[in-house]
Each structure stands twice: as structure tokens, then as C-alpha cells.
Structure 1
């Protein structure tokens, strides 16, 4: 074969490969465009003012986009860089932080929490039974959320115009003035300690610690507080150092002062009613503030970690994080209907749906969120909205958007 012939074959091969890549890219872009159109159609009823979606795998983000408005009045678009709090998906960060602290030799999951606490936490129905960090992380601590959790937890951001805004959400959640807020330590002490000013008979269940799953926001915050006492670092700083910075989640944080507030979305009680900006004393259980861009990086890392390739924890720690910790005997009312509920089984503050999906949901005033991945194909989905809903049309729209992501996710990986 002559040199000229070899040269011609090489050129034809390069052109063919280039055309093949070009064709594949065109097909992918067409699929993304089709997905965008279908999501717009699914959400055209306007029940959500703004939201963002994402599809990721262990290699990165396959699709992400914002829809609608972060600020209806000023017609400010909701994009994949818009930030807002995401509700209880925040709890998944607590699990990672506990395991990082364990790696650092600062604590062990099976340690009694009273080993670290400056006040004593005991279920009065079982005074001789220790509550451990693992109990908190698996929602089996027997600690529950009483009414004071909702009425004392939420506080208003300073320097905002409150004219015309409701300061009570759905008659249960009260937005308190910033100057009335107590520290996380006092908040927990008031709720959990015998004769604490907010301690009631509903604070602890009649189940022995470690026995029965009972979802607990306050138990999550207590776990974060134990971490603070064990490590000597505040929870927000610890997670920033060991999770956010390594993953380059640069737009994210736990408090308003941690983020660029210019990118923050307004939150809505319904499409026409704006809510005040608020924070939470128990911020580790639900007040993580992030963008879809950052949260996509996070979910991709979780998928990597599930497969033994994570970067922020060791293989052993990720294995523990994703290990189903409970059995059927730990549940009284097990959720075996919704595959996207974290209440069928749990790892270390990470949930499992009954069909095997791994992730978490979230909800707070003006916030709805869902983040799950399928361990069978290593593809994950995220949906965050800035408008509360509690009716059938809202539920149908939310899951309609979610289903569109599933419809296209494998098309974007082929």
C-alpha cells in the first residue's frame, strides 16, 4: 500500500469520526430540546412560579435547566444558577459529615450522644437506654418534632419589607423576628431536656431508642450539634471544608451571609402569594441553600461514591453511608407505595424508596425538592421548585415534570 493511499484512508477515517460525533451531538441536542418543550408543556398551568431540573450520572451533568421565574413581580428568570433552600435534602449532608468526622477519628456512629453533649438527652420512658448517633442518623432515636419545633424554628431575614406578607405559614409555621432567635444549643436544650421550656410529652415516643423508625427533624439537628461538639467546628464550616469546597459547590451555603443573595429566588405560598425570606435555627435539617448547577455536582459525587469512586469520603465510609440500616421490624407504617420516598429504608441520613431508588425529598414553606438516583443504571434526577403546593394539580404537575426527566434520561446517555 502506497503512502498516498494510507494518507487518503487516514483523512477519510478522521472525517467519518468527526461526522459521527457531530451527528451524535446533534441527536443529543435534539433530545434536550424535546425534553425542554415537554417540561414547558407539563408546567404550563402555572402552579409553580419557578423551578429547575437536572439529569446526571457518575460522569457529570447530562441536562439541567431552569424554568419560569425566581421573581414574578420583576420578571426575573429562574435559571440553573438561581439559588434557594432545598428542604430536607439538606439531611444528606449531615450523613456525609458524620462519616467524615468518623474518618478523622472525632467520633463513632455507635457512640452515645451524651458522650459529647453539654446537656443530657434521655427518653424518659427508657432512662437507662443510650441514644446513639446511629439512632439519630436512621431516625430511630425516639425523638420527635413537637409543636414548638415549627413555631420557634423559622426566623425572618433582616432588612426586608414585610408589608403585606403573612408571617404564619399554613397556621403551623411561624416566622419569628431575627432578634428573638436563640442559638442551636439553646433551641435543642429547650426542646429535649427534661423540664426544658419547650419540652412536651410529644418530644419522645414510647418506643425504645433503636427500635422504630420515626422521621425526626430535630434528631437530625441534634446529630449536627453532636458533630460540632466532637470536632470543635461549627457544622456549617465543617461541611464547607469537607464537602462544598472539594466539590466546587461555590454558590452554596447554609446561611444568607454565605451566598450571593442577588441570585436567591423568592419563595411563594402559592403562585400569587410571596413569602418572606426566612432562615432556620435547625438549619442542618433543611436550610441548605444551593443552585441546580451545584446540586448536580453533588448528586454526581453521590453516584460515584455508591460505586466506590467518590472523592470526599473513603470507599469504606461511602459503603456505610449507603448501607441499608433497618429491617421490616423497625417500621410500623412502612412506605411501600411511593418509589420516591426516603421512608422505606435508610442509610446514614440517606433514604431508599421501596423499588431501590436512593436519595431524599424536601419541603418547607415555598420549597419542594426531590433528588434520587437509580443504582441499576447510575442515573439521577433532581427537581427543585419555589412554590408550595398541597393539592392534586400541584402533585400531578410535580410528578409530571419528574416523569419527563425519566423519559429522556436514557436517551441522553446513549
Structure 2
């Protein structure tokens, strides 16, 4: 689950002129033109505020081969936007008294994790959630977290799939982080001691979700279903492929148009959320409610302030921060222009979800192709993203 260092630069750069704000119908027409002229297989967008979804529409194809349209109900993986759900789940677990953000992870884990270059310094949950733990993604090991979706796995019933996913997550993390593990190496950690430098870490994020499993007694998939998806009526969201919805899933594509084989992720919480443009719009609208101090179905106002507030002291930030994202919430990126959200990228999938605290408007974009692998697609996304700002209600 990569972040988007190049694409993030586009999020605050005006790409369009100051044309008259279109009506929703006119916006759909303009987006349709951009979609037709683009190389995007399909995509869905939503514009939201704290009252709900102001605009949503989808374009192109979820499956080019079968001509299946991409719709607001098309299900696909969204990459690292998934990490924001770990953030919500962590704050819910704090509210439940399972731990605090400053709890050392070794007080929860059944195996000890020590940074090889600072073994006496505890790693905390907050450090996992701000990518400052010192745990990094060693490519040779992390790429093995991506596995083909097999017919045998798909044939398991729901309880068996969830039990398998829970076991695989625990096994991967133990192997990678415990000195006795098969894939453990000192190179699984950065040269920097915990809390001193920013290193984006998918494995660190998956570890945070695993801590929730250990303390709650629920799989992360079940925990998020109970405390996020069900309250928000995100009926088409989950973490594991469901054969009964086979005709609802988007096919992932390479930038050249070739379809990819379906895959799953052993460290699924770090980027394996399967959701729809509509459901993600519902989620972001609820985040805006909580951010504005309105009653929320997810968290208390204090928890929202912690989750979305800057975690790094301005006078002493960790090293290695991206200049466009100089601070971080709890698995929520805080951009220099004040926008808060996350990007997501995976083979054949890209997603963007950000909101502006000043305007109270949020935007969602999901597509079934990896944008960061193609400059032309990146520019096409940028035009679509900026056009969403012209919706009259988004002013």
C-alpha cells in the first residue's frame, strides 16, 4: 500500500480556469467528457459535507471485457485509505479502555518487538499510528503479503475466511518482527530510534490493527464491521472477498489496459478495504460531522480531535517528513494546505479521500487502475479532482 508522494502534489494545485460553477447535471456532463478522453477504466466520485453526500457519480467500466459499468455500488480495494479505518478503530479501542495511544506495544503483544538499534526504547501505539515507530517495509518480505485469490480460498465459508485471515495476519507479523521469525532481519527497522523519524510503514499499520484484535477478542474485520460499517450503514464494505458478490467487484487494470489477476493481502488492514464510492462517501461525511463537533455514530468529539489533530510538535517534528505533509493525525495525513485525509495505491487501484476543515467539504475518488505508474493518468485524475471543486454546494 504505497503513499502518493508525486500525486499528493496535485491535490492543492489548481488545474482548471475560473469557469462558472456548473449545476450537478452540468458537472456530470463535464466529468463524462473527461472520463471519455481519459485512460481510466472506470471511477467513482463523491462530494460530501457533514449532512451527507452532496454529489456522487461513476463513469466508465468496472470490467471492460464484460462492459460492466462502474457504479456507486461497485466494490473495489482502496489501498491505504484503509489506514484511516485503523485510526478510527484505535480511538474506539481507547474509548473502550483497551489501551492508550502511548501504551508500549510489548504490553499487548504475545511476542516481544524491539528496535535492534534502540532495544531499550519502547515502541508505542502512537508511533505506529504516525509512522514513527522505526518499523519499515522491507520490500523482499512485504511483497509476499500479496497473494493470489484462489478458488480454494473463495470456496471457504465466511467464518472460515475470517479465521484464516486472522491467523495469516498474526503469522506474518510474528515472522517479520520477532527475532525468531523466518523473515526477521535488522533491516526490517530503520536506522532511526522510535519516535525520531518518519518512515511510512504498512507493516506498522497492520501491527496496530493486530493490537486491537488482541485486546478486543475480535478480528479486525469483525471489529470494524461492528463499530464502523454497521453504524454508518456501509453495507457494501468489508475486508474479505465474498463470492456471493462476485458480479459487484471491479476488475483491476494495469495502466496499459491489461487486467490483473485477483489478489488478497495477508496484512489486509493496512490497505485491503473493499468498499464502494457511495460507502466511502458516507464514511467521510461522518468524519466531517465528528470533526465539526457534531454528535457522531463513531467516536466522541475528544477522540475526533485527537485522531485528526497534529501529533507532531511544531518545534520538534520527526525527521524525514514530506514537505507537503508536515504533520500527521492518527493514521490521517495533514497536508500543508490544511486538508486532511489519505491516498491509496495498490496494483490496479487508486483512491483519494480528503476534506477541507475550513469549508467543511470532502471529496472521494476511486479508480480501478494504479495512477502512480503513469504520468498521463495522473494528469487526468488531477483534472477530475479539481473539477469536483466547482460543484456549487462545495463552494
* Higher relative contact order, chain-length normalized (CA < 8 Å, sep 6+): 2
Measured on the aligned residues, the alpha-carbon RMSD in Å equals 2.0
Distance in 1 (alpha carbons) for counterparts of 2:46 and 2:126: 31
Name the residue aligned to 1:412.
393
5+ residue gaps, structure 1, are: 1-28, 161-178, 338-342
Asked if residue 301 in structure 1 is aligned to residue 286 in structure 2, the reply is yes
Name the residue aligned to 2:108.
116
In structure 2, the residue corresponding to 1:273 is in which secondary structure? coil
What is the correspondence of 1:267-346 to structure 2 with a 5 Å cutoff?
A: 267-309=252-294, 310-327=296-313, 329-337=316-324, 343-346=325-328
CA separation of 1:180 and 1:249: change in aligned 2, threshold 3 A? closer
Asked if residue 376 in structure 1 is aligned to residue 362 in structure 2, the reply is no
In structure 2, the residue corresponding to 1:279 is in which secondary structure? strand
Distance in 2 (alpha carbons) for counterparts of 1:99 and 1:261: 33
Asked if residue 243 in structure 1 is aligned to residue 228 in structure 2, the reply is yes
TM-score, reference length from structure 2: 0.87
What is the correspondence of 1:11-410 to structure 2 with a 5 Å cutoff?
A: 31-159=23-151, 183-257=168-242, 260-309=245-294, 310-327=296-313, 329-337=316-324, 343-389=325-371, 390-408=373-391
Aligned residues of 1:54 and 1:381 also touching (Cα < 8 A)? yes
Aligned residues of 1:253 and 1:259 also touching (Cα < 8 A)? no
Distance in 1 (alpha carbons) for counterparts of 2:141 and 2:218: 24
Aligned residues of 1:148 and 1:198 also touching (Cα < 8 A)? no
Aligned residues of 2:352 and 2:364 also touching (Cα < 8 A)? yes
TM-score, reference length from structure 1: 0.83
In structure 1, the residue corresponding to 2:242 is in which secondary structure? helix
Distance in 2 (alpha carbons) for counterparts of 1:327 and 1:39: 41
Aligned residues of 2:323 and 2:336 also touching (Cα < 8 A)? yes
Distance in 1 (alpha carbons) for counterparts of 2:394 and 2:132: 38
CA separation of 1:396 and 1:30: change in aligned 2, threshold 3 A? closer
CA separation of 1:66 and 1:351: change in aligned 2, threshold 3 A? same
How many residues in Structure 1 have an aligned counterpart in Structure 2? 361
Aligned residues of 1:334 and 1:344 also touching (Cα < 8 A)? yes
In structure 2, the residue corresponding to 1:44 is in which secondary structure? helix
Distance in 1 (alpha carbons) for counterparts of 2:306 and 2:192: 25
CA separation of 1:181 and 1:221: change in aligned 2, threshold 3 A? closer
Following superposition, the deviation at residue 54 of structure 1 comes to: 0.7
Radius of gyration: which is bigger?
1
5+ residue gaps, structure 2, are: 1-20, 153-163
